[in-house]
Chains A and B, each alone.
Chain A
Amino acid sequence: MSEAVAAPAAGATEGPHPGPVVSASDLTRRYGEGETAVDALRGVSLDVPKGQLTAVMGPSGSGKSTLMHILAGLDKPTSGEVEIAGTKISKLSDSELTKLRRKHIGFIFQFFNLLPMLTAEENVVLPLSLAGEKPDKAWVDELMQKIGLADRRKHRPSELSGGQQQRVAIGRALVSRPSIVFADEPTGNLDSKTSGEILDLLNESVHDLSQTIVMVTHDSRAAAIAKRVLFLADGKIVRESHGISAQDVVAAMDELGAS
């Protein structure tokens, strides 16, 4: 049985969408009610242009995770609207949203979240399988090559190192050629050498595949490879930098932490 139903985004199946891949306007998110209510986002607007790596940084509680969840359609904003690949998502049903995610969004998690009983390759093609699509063999081969696991296709996650597992997760995020990939602290659970390799892989995918990536991170080195870095504090974008170095990122973070 096929779950492959065209996402409601008109004409967004193949080829570039003319505008930004993801755009958000006046997002607010409030948790709880009354006196104990917490405002995680207090009016955030942004556009994510195609083919760029955007990093979102900020101290704990700044709202960066909430922002990512809302942009990815995993959480609903209290007010404001998100548009993914030309589709406004606030009115979508759970099923429509799921199919939109399937088609347009890839995820990379801090804890890899691979299925332990599937092989590396099965994990990579899982989004296509769920959509009932047959993976294009040449593309899967290229992808396995790219993530450096061409010789470990049949290995199960328990037989792979942390870095290798995260590579599988990246492959899984890229396999459906999504409009955008969201990475949530992709290096948060890795040592610094492996982190470097993972960041390189993400960077390559932006350059070689024109993949759009939004990455939430604490890691200043991670932010340094981003074309654009958004700094969040108290639920607002307080600063936007383009192509800054790791040191500058650290300095900017210190500033935010002090304020």
Chain B
Amino acid sequence: MTAFALRGLLGRKLRTILTAFAIVLGVATVSGTYVLTDSIDKAFNSIFTTSRQGSDAVISGKSAFDVSSDSGAQAPAFDQSLLKKVRALPGVDVADGAVDGTAQLIGKDGKAVVYGGAPNLGFSIARGDSPFNPLALIQGRWPHGNEVVIDKSMAHKEHFAVGQTVGVEAEGPVRHLRVSGIVKFGSVSTIGGATLAGFDLPTAQKLFGKPGQLDEIAVKAKPNVSSDELLSQIRGILPPATQVRTGEEQAHQDSKETDSFISFLQKFLLGFGGVALFVGSFVIANSLSITIAQRTRELATLRMIGASRRQLLRSILLESLVVGTLASLVGLFAGLGLAVGLFKLFDAVGFTLPNNGLTFETRTIVVSLLVGVLVTLVASMRPAVRATRVPPISAVREGATLPESRFARFRLPAAIVLSALGFASLLWGLFAPNLGTAKILLFLLGGALIVFFGIALLSVRLVPPLAGLLGWPATRIGGTAGTLARENAQRNPQRTASTASALMIGLALVTLVSMLAAGIISSFRGSVKEIWRNADYAITAQNNFSPIPIAPADAVAKTPGVLSVANVRVGQGRAYEKTTSITAVNPAAANVFNLDWKEGSSQVLANLGEDGAFVAKGYADDHHLAIDTPIVLTFPSGARKTFFVKGIFDPPTGGSPFGSITFSAATFDRYVSEPKNLYSFVVTQGGQSAANEAAINKTLDAYPNAKVATREKFIDNQISGLSSVLNILYVLLALSVIVSLFGIVNTLVLTVFERTREIGMLRAIGMTRRQVRRMVRHESVITALIGAAIGIALGIVLAALLIARIDFIVLSVPVGQLIAFAIAAIVVGIIAAIFPARRAARLSVLEALQYE
């Protein structure tokens, strides 16, 4: 029987390969995800390890809680006098101090060099030959005074050479420094989109506004001094708000943020791999069902000559095992290619990831193979069991068909129950109170899975009417070939439904994403219109979202023609035992923001005073805040400050422009080192005009990382970030659509094969090859459109459910996009039909007629 199973595979090479494609793609996504994230992880680790090489201990400022660098918050610096004391310790061989921060390099076009959201790292280099220096000089020499070294990738991309002058913007206005050298970071080939700028210590201290201060001290122990001993010596002299770690611990600490990013990216991408595999399982189950139906006679003959049911089952499962294993192996290696593609994709949308060569972990191999084989086996279970139910008598009957499954009559109720259960689980996950995040996700994912499955089963009932409706254009365009195509699509609803379902899943997800995006965009537009009262311009970072130093906005405030500038500072604080985002505004904000006040009024913004604060309604409810309730806020520096609630506002649907707690900018600047603005809104004399814009631009020339945008442009800029994310999502979802495309190809090939004699007859009585191709193509398009119709409808329902739960998104149907998806489905149908249609048209009439 084993030999028989394998011989069978060889005999149906084409079908086997087409089926296997579905698994190959799914497994490739999984393995590609692992390869990608492992490679990024390794590259980051190598960056962090390199940067701590030679450090036996690292002293750094200690923030009161872990802060995220995205928020612009930084641990406080400490006085540089500590360095002398450390150097004097008996166990210390070498110790060097350093400061770091964000140093924006200015390109030759006068614009800040920004690669997506990648960091622009600036730091001091104590000495070129310091054991702590992770950089290697490629060209030139180490910086002194008004000099800077920059990384080779930035130098290459922006055409900077040694001896030229480059603008650097840190905390103050731009300074022009001479490029003294080009460096690279240890052995790492790319550091993603990050840029590097190294200065000598006094220059760096000036640039980052930390005169006489240090962010960290790296220490190398004398030989024979143990790590423990070194640490205890250092601890003896540590001032408050500083801490010491071993180099290794510090590297680990440094990588915390990227670790959580990588882990998120991994889960995110694996999710898409899961979708591709889920779709793939539909394709396999369907292909196998058709193949087995076509082999009814053969299977019956085997039963007649003595094969037991168990033997049949085993032989079919063995087939799947072989296909699954081979396909998973191919997919495993295809994943390497996919990882390269993903690197390029992220790069293309401005999100360059560090890459230090692809990493192929054992875990990648094990998980990919296991998942691929398991999915194949599970998907082939049902067709295999059905195959065993072929009665031996079918061997001698003309036109024998597979008996209906025992459970056939329960199919409709099962489909309805499953769909209902799935939706119930979704609703419970969305609306049940007090579920933890893990449980919410479980209910949502599980619910979605069950819904897809239930709708796929239910779609058998939807196929005949949908095919009739969606096939109508085919009968108009394709004449008799189109009419026959429509009849063919309705002929075996089960088969058409299974084929369409695979596409349905992909399109439902694509629709869901586009609905959410449209909702976010339209709420955002709405709320910006609602909130902004009379601001004419906004000032943001070049990349639209990074917090920037406050200097540019302060300079704009002094520009002629500018009446006022409302700043929104952003940072992190800790209140009610949770790290939360904090914002601060200056009194001018009272004229700009138009909020829906539950307590207080717009005048609160102008009269916050030294210890006044206002909060969003949700936050107030969570912590039972009312007017004059005190809030104790801890700043990253460890300083504590009590604020009193002066106002409570209801944030607009598009999201609050503020953090959880907002207080005055003056207080913010007193407690936060290197305060940063998220955005600033400018009111000008006479409103938007070319003259006003030119004046602001002139001021901002000194601050290349800041840019001014009109209200409309600001909205577009904010949304453009979202479209990059959307593009990534679409590309990833396209994978599952491609899997379903293979499903359609497979079904069509099998169908053409099954209808060989019929096609022969049609050709004999006058169907041209063109008409044959047209017939197959139209059937393919009708099938794809059925998938699209159900998928888009389901996507809309799922999105509506989600949006009903999420307060800050309004329901908005992107009609244009949905039409584009339907057209995409037609294209998928046409592409899927190319090969099967050609096969059908090429059949020799004579051979087809004699085919049995």
Give the B-binding residues of A (Cβ under 8 A). Answer: 1-3, 69, 72, 74-75, 94-95, 98-99, 101-103, 106-107, 109, 111, 113, 115-118, 126-127, 129-132, 172-173, 176
Contacts and interface: CB of A to CB of B under 8 A. Distances in A.
B765 A106 contact: yes
A116 B757 CA distance: 12
24 contacts: A72-B764, A74-B849, A95-B769, A99-B766, A103-B766, A106-B765, A107-B765, A113-B758, A113-B760, A113-B849, A115-B758, A116-B491, A117-B487, A117-B488, A126-B762, A129-B479, A129-B480, A129-B483, A130-B480, A130-B762, A130-B771, A132-B480, A172-B765, A173-B765
A146 to B, nearest CB: 19
B846 interface: yes
Contact of B766 (A75, A109, A131): A131
Q: Interface residues of B toward A: which range?
A: 20 to 34
Contacts of A116: 491
Contact of B480 (A72, A106, A109, A126): A126
Nearest to B760: A113
Residue from B478, B481, B764, B766 whose CB has the most chain A CB atoms within 10 Å: B766
Nearest to A72: B764
A118 B487 contact: yes
A28 B479 CA distance: 39
B768 A95 contact: yes
B766 A102 contact: yes
B764 A101 contact: yes
B770 interface: yes
B848 to A, nearest CB: 10
A74 B845 contact: yes
B846 A98 contact: no
Interface in B148-172: none
Interface string B808-852: 000000000000000000000000000000000000011001000
Contact of A115 (B484, B760, B771, B849): B484
A106 B761 CA distance: 11
Given A3-B479, A101-B764, 9 more contacts: A94-B769, A98-B768, A99-B768, A111-B757, A113-B757, A113-B761, A115-B758, A117-B491, A172-B765
B474 to A, nearest CB: 12
Contact of A130 (B766, B845, B846): B766
Interface string B461-487: 000000000000000011111011001
A132 B479 contact: yes
A109 B849 contact: yes
Nearest to A113: B761
A111 B768 CA distance: 22
B764 A74 contact: yes
A98 B480 CA distance: 15
Interface in B768-800: 768-771
B490 interface: yes
B17 interface: no
A3 B482 CA distance: 13
Contacts of A113: 757-758, 760-761, 849
B479 A98 contact: no
Contacts of B760: 113
A111 B764 CA distance: 14
A106 to B, nearest CB: 7
Contacts of A127: 765-766
Contacts of A99: 766, 768
Contacts of A75: 846
B303 interface: no
Contacts of B707: none
Contact of B846 (A3, A74, A103, A126): A74
Interface of B: 477-481, 483-484, 487-488, 490-491, 757-758, 760-771, 845-846, 849
A28 to B, nearest CB: 17
Contact of B765 (A69, A95, A102): A102
A113 B852 CA distance: 12
B774 to A, nearest CB: 9
Instruction: In the A-B complex, list the 4 residue pairs whose CB atoms are closest, starting with the nearest.
Output: A102-B766, A113-B761, A129-B480, A117-B487
Contact of A98 (B483, B488, B761, B767): B767
Nearest to B769: A94
A21 B759 CA distance: 27
A130 B766 CA distance: 7
A1 B768 contact: no
B493 to A, nearest CB: 12
A69 B768 CA distance: 18
A132 B771 CA distance: 11
B778 to A, nearest CB: 12
Nearest to B492: A117
Contact of B490 (A2, A115, A117): A117
Interface centre among B764, B771, B845 (most CB of A within 10 A): B764
Contacts of A74: 764, 845-846, 849
B758 A101 contact: no
Nearest to B476: A1
B507 to A, nearest CB: 27
Contacts of A129: 479-480, 483
B404 to A, nearest CB: 16
Contacts of A1: 477-479
Nearest to B491: A117
A95 B766 CA distance: 9
B157 to A, nearest CB: 55
Contacts of B758: 113, 115
A246 to B, nearest CB: 28
Contacts of B770: 95
A163 B63 CA distance: 93
A103 B765 CA distance: 9
Contacts of A111: 757
A99 B768 CA distance: 7
Given A1-B479, A115-B484, A130 B849 contact: no
Contacts of B490: 117
A72 to B, nearest CB: 8
A152 to B, nearest CB: 19
A170 to B, nearest CB: 13
A1 B771 CA distance: 10
A95 B483 CA distance: 21
B483 A126 contact: no
Q: Which interface residue of B483, B484, B769 has the most chain A CB atoms within 10 A?
A: B484
A111 B761 CA distance: 11
Nearest to A66: B846
B349 to A, nearest CB: 43
B850 to A, nearest CB: 9
Contacts of A102: 765-766
A3 B764 contact: no
A169 to B, nearest CB: 9
A69 B848 CA distance: 13
B684 to A, nearest CB: 63
Contacts of B488: 117
A62 B696 CA distance: 98
Contacts of A94: 768-769
A176 B765 CA distance: 10
Nearest to A118: B487
A113 B759 CA distance: 10
Given A113-B757, A113-B758, A130 B765 contact: yes
Contacts of A118: 487
B528 to A, nearest CB: 52
B767 A130 contact: yes
Contacts of B768: 3, 94-95, 98-99
A228 B769 CA distance: 35
Choose among B478, B480, B484, B765 the residue with the greatest number of A CB atoms under 10 Å from its CB. Answer: B765
A18 B742 CA distance: 55
Contacts of A101: 764-766
Residue in B490, B762, B763, B845 whose Cβ sees the most chain A Cβ within 10 Å: B845
Nearest to A158: B399
Contacts of B849: 74, 109, 113
B490 to A, nearest CB: 7
A93 B785 CA distance: 35
